[in-house]
């Protein structure tokens, strides 16, 4: 399967206009709750439909497999007609404005496009992995979120694109060029063996980015999920204390954390979900390759690389840790010691 990284980045970046339309006119009725009580918006559904349409346009002669977060079940229920009509209108506006589609798509076309994401993935063949709006709560607050797309080849992530519309071009640590402070919206792209690029969502030229070179944990800063429900903040705090990290945690939503870490804004990302939670591959696939191609490492708490070949879920040892190669040994040691001291956190 051959696809242009430039075309993918351009297509994913075009969703920025889609999200702006949605955010400016977002209504309470546009927000629903899924079975796990997490929110889903017209933006989640519409973004998934748009990416599906674009990928199938780019890959007309290939077998198409998409592993994505949303499905059309709730949109097919009684009472969802108004929401579906609104999504279809937004999808058509986006596809026609960027020239993706000349004729308008129907509501059934949109439902079918959303349901194209029902693939189970796995270790055979190639599968696209999509989180249409990663960090929906951040999206609703006007904070950080990401549109994350990756390609699996025989179970390995081989490319990823991460659009972060609300992430400043300047370091969120505040140590970048002053001229960048008012510029917002980044797109990270990575292809195996070719490094990681970052470019503004306005289409300006990309630049190569690299993870932090910090070796002393006391000088490191770390990211964690904004929502305490998504990760155990107390465990992360214990690990940071054991390492000697002095800076307070930077808490932001979504895979924007991976993007920020890939360009050196921080040195560590810790994620320890509560017991019973199963990590989904669309929450980490794009971010993982963006960081690793920028020179970083991503593993579970036992030091094992993340395995995306098992289907829609990741089988992990406790949690996910992300850092540079120099800090990883001491970070793994601190994680193991804290887990041993706090067995209730497992």
Just list the catalytic residues.
Answer: 44, 136
Residue closest to 45 by CA, chosen among 69, 81, 10: 69
Q: Which distant-in-sequence residues (6+ apart) come within 8 Å of 346 by Cβ?
A: 275, 318, 339
Residue 184 token pair? 């917002």
Residue 53 token pair? 């349409």
Residue 8 token pair? 């993918």
d(CA 148, CA 50): 13
For residue 325, give the DSSP letter: T
Is the Cβ–Cβ distance between 19 and 138 less than 8 Å? no
Number of Cβ atoms within 10 Å of the Cβ of 193: 7
Residue count of the chain: 346
Q: Which residues are annotated as a binding site?
A: 69, 131, 133-134, 283
Strand pairing category for 126-134 and 207-209: unpaired
Q: Which residues are annotated as a binding site for Mg(2+)?
A: 69, 131, 133-134, 283
Is the Cβ–Cβ distance between 49 and 72 less than 8 Å? no
For residue 118, give the DSSP letter: B
> Scanning the structure block, which residue is given the tokens 């059309």?
72
> Scanning the structure block, which residue is given the tokens 């429900």?
229
Is the Cβ–Cβ distance between 290 and 163 less than 8 Å? no
């Amino acid at each position: 399967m051959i696809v242009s990284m430039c075309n993918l980045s351009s297509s994913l970046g075009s969703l920025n206009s889609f999200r702006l339309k949605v955010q400016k006119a977002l209504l309470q009725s546009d927000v629903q709750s899924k079975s796990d009580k997490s929110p889903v918006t017209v933006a989640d559904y519409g973004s998934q439909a748009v990416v599906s349409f674009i990928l199938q346009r780019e890959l007309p002669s290939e077998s198409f497999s998409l592993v994505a977060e949303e499905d059309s079940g709730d949109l097919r229920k009684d009472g969802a007609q108004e929401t579906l009509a609104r999504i279809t209108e937004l999808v058509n506006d986006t596809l026609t404005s960027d020239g993706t589609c000349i004729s308008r798509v129907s509501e059934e076309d949109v439902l079918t496009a959303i349901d194209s994401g029902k693939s189970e993935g796995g270790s055979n063949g190639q599968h696209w992995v999509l989180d249409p709006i990663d960090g929906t709560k951040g999206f609703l607050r006007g904070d950080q979120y990401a549109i994350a797309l990756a390609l699996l080849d025989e179970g390995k992530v081989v490319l990823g694109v991460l659009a972060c519309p609300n992430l400043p071009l300047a370091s969120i640590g505040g140590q970048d060029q002053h001229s960048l402070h008012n510029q917002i919206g980044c797109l990270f792209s990575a292809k195996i063996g070719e490094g990681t690029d970052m470019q503004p969502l306005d289409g300006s030229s990309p630049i190569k980015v690299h993870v932090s070179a910090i070796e002393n944990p006391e000088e490191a800063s770390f990211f964690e999920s904004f929502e305490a429900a998504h990760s155990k903040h107390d465990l992360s705090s214990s690990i940071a204390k054991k390492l000697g990290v002095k800076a307070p945690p930077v808490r932001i939503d979504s895979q924007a954390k991976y993007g920020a870490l890939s360009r050196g804004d921080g040195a560590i990302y810790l994620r320890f979900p509560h017991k019973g939670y199963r990590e989904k591959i669309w929450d980490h696939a794009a971010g993982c390759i963006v960081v690793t191609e920028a020179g970083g490492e991503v593993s579970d708490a036992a030091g094992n690389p993340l395995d995306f070949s098992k289907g829609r879920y990741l089988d992990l040892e406790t949690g996910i840790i992300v850092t540079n190669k120099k800090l990883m040994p001491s970070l793994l040691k601190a994680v193991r010691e804290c887990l041993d001291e706090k067995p209730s956190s497992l």
